[in-house]
Every structure is written in structure tokens, then in C-alpha cells.
Chain A
Amino acid sequence: MNPVRPVAVVSFAQSKQVRREDHRNEVEMLMPVVSDVFAQVGLTKDDMGFVCSGSSDYLVGAPFSFVMALDAVGVWPPMRESHVEMDGAWALYEAWTLLQEGEVDTALVYSFGRSSPTDLQRVLALQLDPYYMAPLWPDPVALAALQARALIDAGRADEKDFAAVAARSRRDALANPNAQVANDTPVEELLADEYVVAPLRRHTLPPVTDGVAAIVLAAGARATSLVDRPAWITGIDHRIETHALGARDLCESPSTRRAAQGAGLLGGSGAGGAVGSGSGGTGGGGVDVDVAELHAPYAHQEIILRDALGLGDSVRVNPSGGALGANALMVAGLIRIGEAATRIMDGSARRAVAHATSGPCLQQNLVCALAAEPGGGA
């Protein structure tokens, strides 16, 4: 969707992303981050026209945990509030859509995710179709390995390419104080890792992460009154592929490409936006941006996403370290939008694309286009 009304990210905050948050509950994790995201723009919860959160009860095993999490915001007097059982990137999409209606000018979006309280491999198997797949408990690493193998068999990449993505991500994460996995390890050394599930070695897997994040959105003049350089959302879209893994070509991400078109980043949707000359493998040009924050939990998925978006070599991919640096479920996608927006707000980028994924093997994809100008600055 392209905006009928300019809406921007005006502040972003996240917790330190850690392997295991031992002592604090979700509310205690969220409170300092919510305070931070408000303090950056001098606002309070009373200034918010809408609050939307993203999380999953499956992660902590507590029904309605998102209702308890509202204690971190304080919803009195009663507020207009919503929740999605998804990554916070989708909560941001809902908030952005509501802001398009023009009734309210501001929104708080937050998400929280603990991946540590349970066996993530089992929990993630439960997102598969309940008749034919879930009863077999295929874990997400095995499914991702099938995808990586398909990519190798198609001659599109090899294990060294996967290691190169991991090495670059970990090195970039060194500059991100909130990242969980950050180090400077050469590709050759990474390739000496044992396989977890061939052809995936430890470094190609996302870390198990606990963390939270929050974003404040503001519309039009309200955004420019709050910050010098709002990160305008010039388009956002979400597309889903079939749950039947066998019916998909796992080497491609057509849903990402469609979402990029829907967000006005690629030709083909009839929407405005820049069409660049990226070297995409899927034809039709590529996304013309300075920075891309891609939610690729597995190293090989970055290669698929780059191709789907047609990102050229000049595009800086995941300067934050990406999901290989930290991957709190339900949070890592919102962080991608926050990181991309930060690059706009700090002046280091004029245009950026943020991406969030959900489901096995990149089943669902959300693409968010951001720019220093409300019209995209093309």
C-alpha cells in the first residue's frame, strides 16, 4: 500500500538482545524501552492516538500475555489499542493503516519476544499445517536446511557464500551495542564449524534471543514537529505463500517481490516509487535504496531476499548485523524497520528498505519502504 497521508517513524528503541533474560518478566523488559522511545521525542503515553503490539503466547506459554504486557504502557484512561499474534512489524503495519484514516496522528508500536523459555524447535514446528506436517515435528533448522540445499543444487550459492553472509553480519554487529552475536571471524574459520543440519553450520543459524523493541509513528506535520528527519514510510505491503512447502520453489521469494511492488519499490504494481537498475536475478529491475535491513534468520535466506528485491552491490545490507546478530522472535522484524529508519533519521541514508519474515522458509514477507522525503525522494 502507498500512503494517502504521510506517516513516519520518529523514534525507535530496543533492549539489549540477549540469549536469556533470566530475571525480568515481559513487562519489566518493556518498561525501560517504552520510556526510552517516548523520551526521544518528548512524548508520553497520553500523547498516543493508538497502541499496537506484536507477540506470541506460544513463546512464553502464557495465554493473553499481551494483555499483561499492556501494564508496561499504562492504559488509563482507556486507550485505543490492538495486538497481532505476529512480529511487531505487522503491528506497525496495522498502526500505519490506522494512521492513514486520519483520525489519530500518533501511535506506539511495540513487541516482545522471549525465545528462551521453551524448546524453540518444537514450538516453531507447531506453526506448520496441523494434519500432514506438524505431527512429524520437523524443526525449523531442518526445513531451512532443505531450502539451503535447494539453493546449492540450483547452482545459486554454496556454503562459502553462506559463511560470507554470516561473517559480514557478525562483523557489522560489532558496531551494534544491542546485538547478541558479534565478532570478527574469517570465512575460512567459520567453514570449519560442524554441520548442525547439513548444509547448515552453526554460523548460518539465527541465535536464540530474548528482547523487546518499540517505535513511535507520527503523521504529517506532527512528525516534522518532533524530529528533524522523520523516516517517512513511503509504502508497506505484506504477502503470504502457501503453507505447503512442497508446492513452493524454496529458492525464490515471490511474496517478497510482490510485497516490494506493493510498497512501491519495484515496477509492476502501478504504484509510484523508484525503479532502479539493481542486478536482480528475477528480472524487472531492483530496489533502489541506500540501505536494506533484511530479516533473514538463516544466512542463505539473505541471498534469496537480495535476489527477490534485486538489490545491487551498492546497497548496504544489514549494517545492524541483521537477524544473525540477534533474532528475538516477534521482535526481529520490527527491529529491521527501526534500524532502517535510524539510518534515515541519522542522515546516513536517503532511502531504505526494511523487511520482516514469518513462517517456515520465508513463507510470509513484509516490505516497508522508508525515505527522508515523504514522496520517497526519487
Chain B
Amino acid sequence: MSGAGTLTDAGGTGEGPVTSVATPIRVEYQYTAGLAQSRFLKGIAEGKFLGQRCPKCHKVYVPPRGSCPTDGVATTDEVELGNTGTVTTYCVVNVPFQGQSIEIPYICAQILMDGANLAFMGLIQEIPADQVRMGLRVEAVWVDRDELGPNMASVKYFRPSGEPDAAYETFVEYL
């Protein structure tokens, strides 16, 4: 095998014992998003956030996975959410890593979309990192219409919407 560069011959040639063996492994998969997540991703491709509501506890999940993780029942009602939400919590990323495409420092935030009961992660831009705060109201910034696709790259980032901050009590349950 071509990857076995550190193999040495212990069979009497005096090169010493084998100390390591490289055995490259690669397995490819075809991912099935599922019915609910497919609906969500198709919504993203049209520039909108689609959630699903639990018929028992009435919570709205976005992105939906087809079930309410609390009640274990199928989420059947589809709910179209608006474009605004609230930063519930966040972190400042100061660590560079391979493949990084955004200048550090930047903000990775948990964003609770209006009408949703589950926050998801998003990038915050157009505001200095040291001014981001819990309760900050934000709006999604989408890529150009002709660049929209069924993936989260369609949402470029979130930026301040200019509204007054949300009160702590309105999102404390989602921390």
C-alpha cells in the first residue's frame, strides 16, 4: 500500500522492527435529510425559514427534524417564520483555524427566530465584536436571489436589525 511509508523490513535485512503501519481508510456516504429537514432546506432555497410545530406542546422547531424531542410525536404543522430573531447567547471566536473564511474576531451566536422555540447557530456581522450582547435583535442577510440553494450558505449572516434589545425574560428559557 502506497501509504505504508514507515514500514521497515524485520525479515532478516537488519532494518529493525516494524514500528508503524499506515492503512488509509475512506468511506463515502449519501445523506438523507429526511422529510422535515428537506422541507426546511427547500424553504431556505426560497429565502425563508420554515419550522414545524409540535401538536402536543405547541413548540415550533427550526430547523425541524420531523419530531418533537420532548413528546416523541411527529411535528405536523408547518410554520413560516419571519426574518428577525434574538441573540440568546454568543461567543467571540479569536482562534484561527484551517479553512477559515471570516476575519477574526467574529461572533458565533445562538439565534432564536421570532415565533420559534429552538435557537440555532448563526454568524453575526456588521457590528464590532465587542458590541454584540445577549438580547440583540438581528435579521438574516441572504445571498443574492439567483445564488439561493437548499443549504445554509444561502444565509450569509445575521446583522443588527436596529430594533431595541429584547428583554431577558423573553429568551431566558432558551439559554
Q: List 23 A-B contacts (CB under 8 A).
A: A25-B32, A25-B35, A25-B37, A25-B65, A25-B66, A28-B35, A28-B74, A31-B66, A31-B67, A34-B72, A61-B31, A68-B65, A71-B65, A71-B68, A72-B72, A73-B72, A74-B70, A74-B72, A76-B70, A118-B29, A130-B23, A134-B23, A135-B1
B72 touching A71 by the CB < 8 A rule? yes
A132 to B68, CA, bound (A): 45
Q: Which of B25, B28, B37, B38 contacts A126 (CB 8 A)?
A: B25
* Minimum CB distance partner of A59 in chain B: B29
Mark interface residues in B1-39 (1 if CB within 8 Å of A CB, else 0): 100000000000000000001010101111111111110
- Is B71 located at the chain interface by the 8 A CB criterion? yes
**Number of residue pairs A-B, CB distance < 8 angstroms:** 88
Provide the residues of chain B in CB contact with A134, threshold 8 Å. Answer: 23, 25
Binding site for A on B (CB under 8 A): 1, 21, 23, 25, 27-38, 65-74
Q: How far is the CB of B39 from chain A (nearest CB, A)?
A: 11
B34 touching A72 by the CB < 8 A rule? no
* Minimum CB distance partner of B22 in chain A: A135
A24 touching B72 by the CB < 8 A rule? no
By size class, the interface of chain A is 20 to 34
Binding site for B on A (CB under 8 A): 21-25, 27-28, 31, 34, 45, 58, 60-62, 68, 70-76, 114, 116-119, 122-123, 126, 130-131, 134-135
Assuming the A-B contacts A61-B29, A119-B27, A135-B23, are A25 and B34 also in contact, with contact meaning beta carbons closer than 8 angstroms in the complex? yes
A24 touching B35 by the CB < 8 A rule? yes
A117 to B33, CA, bound (A): 12
B69 touching A74 by the CB < 8 A rule? yes
A28 touching B27 by the CB < 8 A rule? no
Provide the residues of chain B in CB contact with A34, threshold 8 Å. Answer: 72
